[in-house]
Amino acid sequence: MIKLFDSHAHLTSDQIFSDVEDVLNRARDAGVDKIVNICTCDVTLKRGLDLRKKYDWIYNVASTTPHDVVKDGERLFPLMAKHARNGSLAAVGETGLDYYYHDESKELQQHFLRKYFTLALETRLPVVIHCRDAFDDFFQILDESYMVEGFHAPGVLHCFTGTLQDAQEVISRGWYLSLSGIVTFKRSEELREVAKIVPLNQLLIETDTPYLAPQAYRGKRNEPAYLIETAQLIADVQGIPLEHLIDVTYQNACRFFNIN
């Protein structure tokens, strides 16, 4: 029996939460054994904490995203910090930088990235990072603000879509790199080149549910049951058995999120 770990899913988003029990049942039927739920506001966080009480194989991560810092950054940071400090979270995130749509808020995004790095260091939690069209600034802030005794503190670049050079920068800092269904898209040749070179001990896999369904399900709402499609593609490009890829990424995710 395979055991998959979906390291990033928005189970408590409005698109999923109305039928989350059916989604989770399909996930278990597909071999998904653990899921990290991403909470990005007070509503999704409350839902996530309640979901965790019912399903002990669901783990919560929380912060405002770079998209939301203008509207909710100051209001929600104390709430996110409270739950990071009280042990309710498996990581801090998804925080980060996104200049694709929101380059007008660069300075504010950078401010909150530093704040969440400080929170992660304080609580000894890893960070989950969203980064798009902002890698130079991200690496500079990471190197300045998220170090412990000369080493980078633990983190993952979720749903990685950068270049091969960006991937090598992530890897060189000892971070994890997480691949989503985008790697299966027909035009994702460069991302498949990234999938070839990522060391297995630094690789996670995710769905980013409800977004970015893999190629076989393009146009549909994504869900954790589809994670096997991404795992199979990565196993194929790495030239390793699917079972080995699944086992290694499962163990990596448990280690990263400090799950026994």
Tens place of pLDDT per residue across the chain (260 aa): 789 999 999 999 999 999 999 999 999 999 999 999 999 999 999 999 999 999 999 999 999 999 999 999 999 999 999 999 999 999 999 999 999 987 779 999 999 999 999 999 999 999 999 999 999 999 999 999 999 999 999 999 999 999 999 999 999 999 999 999 999 999 999 999 999 999 999 999 999 999 999 999 999 999 999 999 999 999 999 999 999 999 999 999 999 999 98
| pLDDT at 78 (0 to 100) | 98
| pLDDT at 154 (0 to 100) | 98
Question: In degrees rounded to 5, what are phi and psi of residue 156?
Answer: -135, 135
Residue 89 in tokens: 């979270």
Report the number of secondary-structure helices (H) and strands (E) in the chain. Answer: 10, 10
Residues 6+ apart with CB under 8 A from 164: 190, 193, 194, 197
CA atoms within 13 A of residue 189's CA, in its CB half-sphere: 1
Q: How far is CA 105 from CA 21, 53, 100, in A?
A: 37, 36, 11
Q: What is the residue range of 220's domain?
A: 4-256
| pLDDT at 1 (0 to 100) | 78
> How many structural domains compose the chain?
1
CATH of the domain at 208: 3.20.20.140
| pLDDT at 58 (0 to 100) | 98
